[in-house]
Amino acid sequence: MQRILEVALQAAHQAGRIIGRNFQNLAASDIQAKGKNDFVTRVDLEAEAAIKKVITKNFPHHRILAEETGYSEAAAECLWVIDPLDGTTNFIHGIPHFSVSLALLKNNKVIFGLIYDPLSRDRFHAFAGRGAFLNGKAIAVSRTTALASALGATGFPFKTPEQSAAYAKAFKSLLSRCKDMRRCGSAALDMAYTACGRYDFFWEAHLLPWDFMAGKLLVAEAGGLSSDFSGKELPVHTSSVLAANKTLYPALMKEIGKYFK
């Protein structure tokens, strides 16, 4: 386990240095559109290459699923799921809120997760059955029991406009019942913040596995629950995501379920 953590930290720190030195220093030619409202930068690609190089050097028999380059060729029981820069739109616009996310799965079960903020240098990590940690100190989900007292986080379904109507109704309903909500632009950090109690809950209608796989383990090891909007385990493919402490989770699932079938 120590070896996994050391390698993951080395990879995240190398990616973080690439991100940090390029932050607020992008040229227009550094940015490309992958699809509607979806962008990739030279920095995403350089950071991803750096992470893959570290992992491949230390664990040559492990497979990698990366946001920008997809699956590596080799099949293996161990799979790294990585997002070199979660919050690319924030990065492009000079907004200081983004992260590096790495998860390690063994036989489709998440056994390790790391989320790293290259600006604050906050480091969230978890091993299955070993707890969750922020900068080496144990963390836990919030103890908030009433939705009226809860601060939530969300993300808009900008890649799937067909979900906008359902999302708007669910957002309106939840906002009327909770204390407040935030939309900060990095799902990985949103889940890490839920794991350490900065947020009481997080929900988003459309995410990809590199957005949530590390956060899934962090929330679980911090004593919380996460699933898709129907209560199913988060898979290694596109999914909705709900994460919260065990008290708030059922009420949130019930409310969101009124609008997402």
CATH of the domain at 119: 3.30.540.10
Same domain, 130 and 14: yes
For residue 172, give the amino acid letter.
Answer: K
Do residue 250 and residue 172 come from a single domain?
A: yes
Please report which confidence band the pLDDT of residue 6 belongs to, taking 50, 70 and 90 as the band edges: very high
Q: Are residue 21 and residue 130 in the same domain, yes or no?
A: yes
Mean pLDDT of 216-238: 97
Q: Once rounded to an integer, what is the mean pLDDT over residues 231-256?
A: 97
Region 139-155 average pLDDT? 98
Percent of the chain topping pLDDT 90? 89
Tell me what the pLDDT averaged over the chain comes to.
95
Rounded distance between C-alpha atoms, residue 227 and residue 243, angstroms:
7
Instruction: Based on the fold, state whether residues 89 and 168 are members of the same structural domain.
Output: no
Pick from 76, 114, 146: nearest CA to 213: 114
Instruction: Tell me which of 84, 104, 138 is where a domain ends.
Output: 138
First and final CA of the chain: distance in angstroms? 39
If pLDDT is split at 50, 70 and 90, which confidence band does 76 have? confident
| Residues 58, 26 share a domain | yes
- pLDDT tens for 90-121 read 999 999 999 999 999 999 999 999 999 999 99
247 is in which domain, residue-wise? 147-257
Q: Are residues 166 and 70 in the same domain?
A: no
Residues 92, 115: one domain? yes
Q: Is 192 found in the same domain as 160?
A: yes
> Which pLDDT belongs to residue 37?
65
Residue predicted with more confidence, 8 or 26: 8
Position 36 scores a pLDDT of 67
Say how many domains are in the chain.
Answer: 2
- Residue ending a domain, among 138, 164, 190, is 138
Residue 151 pLDDT > 90: yes
What pLDDT sits at residue 211? 97
Mean pLDDT of 170-187: 97
Domain end: 138, 170, 188, which one? 138
Q: Give the residue from 183, 186, 225, 192 showing the smallest Cα distance to 207.
A: 186
Q: Residue 188's domain is classified under what CATH number? A: 3.40.190.80
Q: Based on the domain organization, do 152 and 126 belong to the same domain?
A: no
pLDDT at 261: 79
Same domain, 55 and 179: no
pLDDT tens digits for range 20-52: 999 999 999 998 887 666 688 999 999 999 999
Residue whose tokens read 């996994």: 4
Q: In this structure, are 154 and 126 located in the same domain? A: no
Residues 6 and 42 in one domain: yes
